[in-house]
Amino acid sequence: MIKGLTAVAQVATEEAWSQLNELFGALGFENGKGWDDGTGKGAAYLAPLGNLELITGRAPAVPTLLVEVTQLEAVHTAVKAWVAKYPASQVGEVAATHWNSRLFVLKLAGDVELGFWESENPLHGKPVAIEGDLSAAGKKFAIVVARWNAVITDRLLQGSLDALMRSGCKREDIEIVRVPGAWEIPSAARTLAETKRFVGIITLGVLLRGETAHYEAIYNEVSRGIGQSQQETGVPHAFGVLTCETLEQALDRAGLKAGNKGFEAGIAAIEMASIQEKIAGVSK
């Protein structure tokens, strides 16, 4: 099994070799095991990721040795400060490439060139994965919302509607079902999911500890019922049932200070619907 990748570059003079050691040390490379056998010597620098790229058809448009970095401007500033001490070396300006990144080149004595680059692709370096898109266009969703504590749940509902319609869902593709309280949410959600008319169900409600002595029992059954409905029907259920100590805490989570959990539940439903659609497409 392949364990690692090492690029070996010859440096023309010991002076340039020493300069490179100083530069790489200043940039924070981890030192590897060096060697000196009397006829030559080497210094190893370790990076968390190594790549081997083979090119045919034309000469490479970049230096043979490329160093991928974050915060390219800060690295460029550090390299320019270092180059000021060695007039024989030259550092280019940061420039955009045709491969969705930015790059600058450091030229040392002896025709040694290093390229420092930073990707502008937000998915660069991440493992390939199925991820949901935040598009609700052409999809149908259902929202189950409790009437109890309507001053809270109405805010949650508006948040979910905002998330869906901002993401391209039409108002006529959203079905709203109002139930008496949080206890009734799982039953309505299950009935809606079993119709298979919706790609996602959003559940909205609020439970306040101070209003009931059996707060934990209700919450446990509501969460269990929603989860069971999701697992047994295969339709994603977004959980937007607040569990708070006080009315003030609930208001904060319904759009005042801590975001709107109804909006967050709507976004989660959209993403999960997209993921299920993609998984189904892959498995065919």
Alpha helices in the chain (DSSP H): 14-27, 72-83, 150-166, 185-194, 215-233, 247-253, 261-283
**Which letter does DSSP use for residue 211 in this model?**
G
- Taking the C-alpha atoms of 241, 246, 248 and 249 in order, what is their torsion angle to the nearest 10 degrees? -50
Q: Which residue has the tokens 């509607």?
A: 161
CB-side neighbour CA atoms (13 Å) of 44 = 10
Strands 200-208 and 30-31: unpaired
Helices within 65-127 (DSSP H only): 72-83
CA 179/CA 144 separation, integer angstroms: 7
**Is residue 98 annotated as a catalytic residue, yes or no?**
no
- Per DSSP, the residues of 34-83 read -EE-SS-EE--EE-S--------SS--SS-SEEEE-SSHHHHHHHHHHHH
Phi first, then psi, for residue 178 (nearest 5°) are -100, 130
- The one-letter amino acid at 236: P
Residue 65 amino acid letter: L
Q: Which of 76, 124, 214, 237 is catalytic?
A: 214
Taking the C-alpha atoms of residue 52 and residue 23, their distance in angstroms, rounded to an integer, is 23
Question: How far is the C-alpha of 236 from the C-alpha of 275, rounded, in Å?
Answer: 10
Burial class (CB in 10 A: 0-12, 13-18, 19+), 261: buried
Catalytic residues, by residue number, are 214
